Structure formats: C-alpha cells, structure tokens
Amino acid sequence: QVQLVESGGDLVQPGGSLRLSCTASRRIFLINTMRWYRQAPGNEREMVASITSGGNTNYADSVKGRFTISSDNAKSTVWLQMDSLKPEDTAVYYCNAKAGFNTYWGQGTQVTVSS
C-alpha cells in the first residue's frame, strides 16, 4: 500500500514562509495530477493547488501569487512553497496524487499562522 507523507508544517508569523513536502513511500507510476488540499476547523477540505504531469498548475484564488506548487514525478514528490502567509492560511494541509484509477492521500501536516 503506497502512502504519502507530508512534512514541513509549523507555526509561523504572518508574512512568513513555509515549504511543504510530500513524498510517496514507493514510486507511483503514471501520475496524472498531484494536489495540495487544506482543511481548517469547521470548514470543508478545499483544493489549494494542483500540478499535472505536464507541469500545468492551478491555484485557488485565495493563494494565487503567494503559493507555488512544484513536483518531481520520477520521485513521486510534490512541494508547496507558501509565502506571505496569512492567519487564514491556518489549516491541516494534505497532499493527493491521482494515477489512473488510483487516488492517494497523505495524513496531513499542520500549518499555523499566528503572531
């Protein structure tokens, strides 16, 4: 069973930066898309950013210009560079990989933006 493992979550002050990483326990072949989602307490899980195998990216309006997604499909790894963080970015961040008919999720990493 392939597992995705996120890391990089932390407590950071408003305006700060964090870089999240997500890697698979073993290589995932034929990845179509990798995504980052987040879920704040009391809120539904929302898609933050996505990247296709061809390198096309998409972002939620709330993070455009501040977050950057990148990936290395050969290593089944995806990153999320988060700059100019705001308190409303506080959430558990999850990575997701879709390969054919299979979808994989990580266990989440906590990001807290607070002074």
Range 17-21 average pLDDT: 98
Residue 17, pLDDT > 90, answer yes
pLDDT higher than threshold 90 for residue 105? yes
Q: What is the pLDDT of residues 28-38, one digit of tens each?
A: 888 899 999 99
Would you state the pLDDT for residue 8?
Answer: 97
- What is the spatial distance between Cα 19 and Cα 111, in angstroms, rounded to a whole number? 10
Per-residue pLDDT at 31: 84
At 47, list the tokens: 């898609």
Which are the contacts of 92, defined by CB distance < 8 A and separation ≥ 6?
A: 9, 38, 39, 40, 108, 109, 110, 111
